[in-house]
Amino acid sequence: MHEMGIMESTVELAERQARDAGAERIEVLRMRVGRLTGVVPEALEHAFEALRPGSMAEGAILEVEYVPGSFLCIGCGSEFEAEAMHASCPTCGEPGLGTKKGAEIQLLSLEVS
Amino acid sequence: MCIECGCGRPGPTKINGKPTNRSYAPASADRKAKIVGATPGHAHKTVDVHQSIFAANDKKAAENRALFTSKGLLVLNVVSSPGSGKTTLVQKTIERLAGKAPMGVIVGDLETDNDARRLRTTGAPVVQITTGTLCHLDAEMVARAFGELPSDGLRILVIENVGNLVCPATFDLGEGLRVALLSVTEGEDKPLKYPPLFSFAQVVVITKQDLAGPCEFDRDAALASIRAVNPAAKVFEVSAKTGEGMDDWCAFLLEELDVRSEE
């Protein structure tokens, strides 16, 4: 996906939240990214490096928690997880239907000062 | 700005040719802000956010959905790569459902109102959104466009999204059904290459069946790749041009309308 745009929106949201909290600097940015979004970790990190200078997050550390894609098997109905954008059921081999869980991009929290 | 690919900075969005007063520019003042050095003894504190970066769009989409439901509208969000046949499918659907289910359209492109002009020849009300450079429609644009559409008496609203296989996938517009198109000329494995667009759709329409022969289209392979990324999708195979498969597609839309009327 387009990690640059995603990171830009995240930093904007983070700056708004930090300002609302009366802070001047962001020290840590914590995100949760689901595997079903197709976000590539290295690309997200590079985007953050490019966006840092001049922002409230200039000296910040980015912590990203990647959560697996959550699937519902179309065959046997069992729920399963996979570190991929589409997957087959480990129980019966039928394709899994991706659910919204595992497709999120969230700003979880900030450490600010 | 597209929160997926960062495009869309210059150029205003227009609805039926009129600029909206919505700015898509990022808050540049914040970006250039001078960073004040940490005050000695200034402690860190934790700010809990737990917000999706799509939160604002999702909220607007929910408002749209509630409004559409209150008007008894079946709303389709039609997505695909450019040139898959969205406009032709919509045009032929309007013609076939004339007298059975009045339809209206909101169509999005970067530039031109060519699609709106084509669709208006059917007599249906159409609003054109020109995004300038933004590569997808979002809930806010759709809300504004809907405000310009004479929607009384309509039963089906089609939102024809910008032709794009990536970014529209993650933007809820408030639709009732997301319909992804795949034309026989695009390659049977397209869904495998662009999973999000196909996996977040409820319906997949394989278009341009009249070209399947010359393209040596492998139907089984296409159905298998759709099934791999979206086993629950309803699949239709049509040629809007020749009419092949269009009866089933239109019957499905009328059934969906009935189901929603009962609810």
pLDDT at B42: 55
pLDDT tens across B83-124, in order? Answer: 999 999 999 999 999 999 999 999 998 888 899 999 999 999
Residue B132: pLDDT band with limits 50, 70, 90: confident
Residue B15: pLDDT band with limits 50, 70, 90: confident
Nearest residue of chain B to residue A28 (CA atoms): B46
Q: List B14's β-bridge partners, or say none.
A: B19, B130
Contact call for B33 and A5, based on CB within 8 A: no
The pLDDT of residue B10 is above 80: no
Residues from chain B contacting residue A12 (CB–CB below 8 Å): 26-27, 30
Handedness of CA B160, B166, B167, B169 (dihedral sign): positive
Contact call for A2 and B6, based on CB within 8 A: yes
Residue B127: pLDDT band with limits 50, 70, 90: very high
Residue B211: pLDDT band with limits 50, 70, 90: very high
Nearest residue of chain A to residue B202 (CA atoms): A97
Contact call for B51 and A86, based on CB within 8 A: no
Handedness of CA B186, B190, B191, B196 (dihedral sign): negative
Which of the pair, B142 or A99, is modelled with greater confidence?
B142
- Which residues, in sequence order, are CB contacts of A77 under 8 Å at separation 6+? none
Low-confidence ranges of chain A (pLDDT < 50): none
The pLDDT of residue B11 is above 60: no
Decide if the complex's ipTM is over 0.90. Answer: no
Residues in chain A: 113
* Three-class SS state of B241: coil
Q: Which two tokens stand for residue B123?
A: 């007599």
The pLDDT of residue B31 is above 50: no
Residues from chain B contacting residue A39 (CB–CB below 8 Å): none
Q: Which two tokens stand for residue A84?
A: 């991929």
Residue B8: pLDDT band with limits 50, 70, 90: low
What mean pLDDT comes out for the span B22-36? 38
The pLDDT of residue B143 is above 50: yes
Contact call for A8 and B3, based on CB within 8 A: yes
pLDDT at B28: 36
Residues from chain A contacting residue B6 (CB–CB below 8 Å): 2, 4-5, 8
How many other C-beta atoms can be found within 10 angstroms of the C-beta atom of residue B177? 17
pLDDT at B160: 95
Which of B171, B199, B223, B226 would you mutate first to test chain A, the one with the most A CBs within 10 A? B199
How many other C-beta atoms can be found within 10 angstroms of the C-beta atom of residue B92? 21
Picking from B5, B45, B54, the nearest residue to A112 by CB comes out as B45
C-alpha distance from B240 to closest chain A C-alpha (Å): 29
Handedness of CA B81, B85, B88, B94 (dihedral sign): negative
Lowest average pLDDT, out of A56-60, B26-30, B201-205, goes to B26-30
pLDDT at B23: 44
Residues from chain B contacting residue A95 (CB–CB below 8 Å): 227-229, 231
User: What's the rounded Cα separation, in Å, for the pair B228 and A77?
Assistant: 16
Handedness of CA B254, B259, B262, B263 (dihedral sign): negative
Amino acid at position B60, single letter: K
Name which of B149, B161, B88 is nearest B124 in CA terms: B149
Instruction: Yes or no: say if B192 and B228 are a contact pair by the CB < 8 Å rule.
Output: yes
pLDDT at B5: 64
Picking from A1, A58, A97, the nearest residue to B166 by CB comes out as A1
Contact call for A56 and B35, based on CB within 8 A: yes
Which H/E stretch holds residue B181? strand B177-183
Q: Which residue has the tokens 């910040």?
A: A60
The pLDDT of residue B21 is above 70: no
Which of the pair, B22 or B30, is modelled with greater confidence?
B22
Name which of A101, A4, A37, A62 is nearest B166 in CA terms: A37
- CB distance from A104 to chain B under 8 Å? yes
Is the model's pTM score more than 0.90?
no
Contact call for B47 and A15, based on CB within 8 A: no
pLDDT tens across B232-241, in order? Answer: 999 999 999 9
Instruction: Yes or no: say if B80 and B165 are a contact pair by the CB < 8 Å rule.
Output: yes
pLDDT at B27: 37
Handedness of CA B184, B186, B189, B194 (dihedral sign): negative
pLDDT at B178: 97
**What is the layout of strands, in order, in the sheet containing A26-34?**
A61-67, A26-34, A105-112, B45-52
pLDDT at A5: 79
- Which residues, in sequence order, are CB contacts of B31 under 8 Å at separation 6+? A54, A55
User: What's the rounded Cα separation, in Å, for the pair B250 and B233?
Assistant: 17
Which of the pair, B143 or B32, is modelled with greater confidence?
B143
The pLDDT of residue B32 is above 50: no
- CB distance from A2 to chain B under 8 Å? yes
pLDDT at B40: 43
Picking from B2, B27, B196, the nearest residue to A38 by CB comes out as B196
- CB distance from A55 to chain B under 8 Å? yes
Contact call for A111 and B46, based on CB within 8 A: yes
pLDDT at B165: 82
Mean pLDDT of chain B: 87
